[in-house]
Homo-oligomer: A and B are copies of this chain.
């Protein structure tokens, strides 16, 4: 352990090392910055010590870092504070990073998953944290996870999702029901393709929002129709394929911006961005695919870029519908499919709405809240 130039460098016996800036240590000390109950800093940055105030650092008997401060304006002896070594080791191991404790995404194709979504028996999931954690692991790792044999009741989906976090409500409500609305049989009629028996191409929901819903859940309550199979494609695989085989299209899809518009009597949502939207720092995640042609409104780009932008859209659609990448699976009552709505493209085959019923209940949940539950359950299951 050394103090040099305002930095304390802590070294562990196993070779781990961390350079700690003095003012960060001040924020991390009970007695200066840290509230001992909430483990949060209470120091407004304006009240931080002078950068030269840290005059000595030692390791105490129990591994705590013992720091001596000469605070400006305070008479009398130096102030001595301690930092818990667990927090320093947490940072040294990179466990303070947002993605730490989350599984890394694994790209998939139909073949790599054996032709079926990763599946778990969900009959007892409400009482079983290990099954819930395993399902959340699938949802983060593959962007996709299916529960089978859940109770096919209205109440099940909201009860399960609220165990994870607060449902993300939209103008479609907290919960929505996907079924064919047949005006000619007394229904209210369809105001969206979702509420017909028509095929839905591979898409993501709500690209008209700044941050589209992170996860979507569809719970099958009834299904007696022929057709209507669910289609799922890993957007990370699609993006990789485009980057590798069609780099010019990939470039157009990641840089050229479009406006998105959903205009109805009571709503008018708008956003703008590229079709493939990576986080600005080039990480693969968070990825947001804005792939829903019904609400793509106008190319926000120079006219000379529009021909290649449209050619790239066509290529994107081809790759997104490539059978090698696409899972196709029918919905059974009691199936509950969750997927990352910003990463995974989803769609369905056409079906004949008059000859049976097909009822899915759905809702959304943001990434933040699912990741938080994953971290908490990981802690609990470990301890």
Contact = CB atoms under 8 A, between A and B. Distances in A.
Most B Cβ at <10 Å: residue of A6, A46, A266, A286: A46
A368 B210 contact: yes
A266 B98 contact: no
A45 B317 CA distance: 6
A369 interface: yes
A24 B272 contact: no
Nearest to A306: B21
A137 interface: no
Interface stretch (A34-42, A72-80, A222-230): A34-42
A376 B310 contact: no
B46 A310 contact: no
B259 A96 contact: yes
Contacts of A21: 299, 303, 306-307, 310
B376 A266 contact: yes
Q: Interface SS of chain A: helix, strand, loop or mixed?
A: mixed
Assembly of this chain: how many copies? 2
Contacts of A272: 97-98
Given A40-B294, A98-B272, A45 B314 contact: yes
Nearest to A262: B40
B317 A51 contact: no
A300 B44 contact: no
Contacts of A193: 35, 38, 42
B40 A286 contact: no
A185 interface: no
Nearest to A318: B46
Contacts of A209: 366, 368
Nearest to A34: B294
A270 B98 contact: yes
Interface in A96-117: 96-98, 100
Interface in A286-323: 286, 293-300, 303, 306-307, 310-311, 313-314, 316-318, 321
Nearest to A313: B45
Contact of A98 (B42, B48, B259): B259
A44 B269 contact: no
Nearest to A266: B376
**Which interface residue of A41, A91, A379 has the most chain B CB atoms within 10 A?**
A41
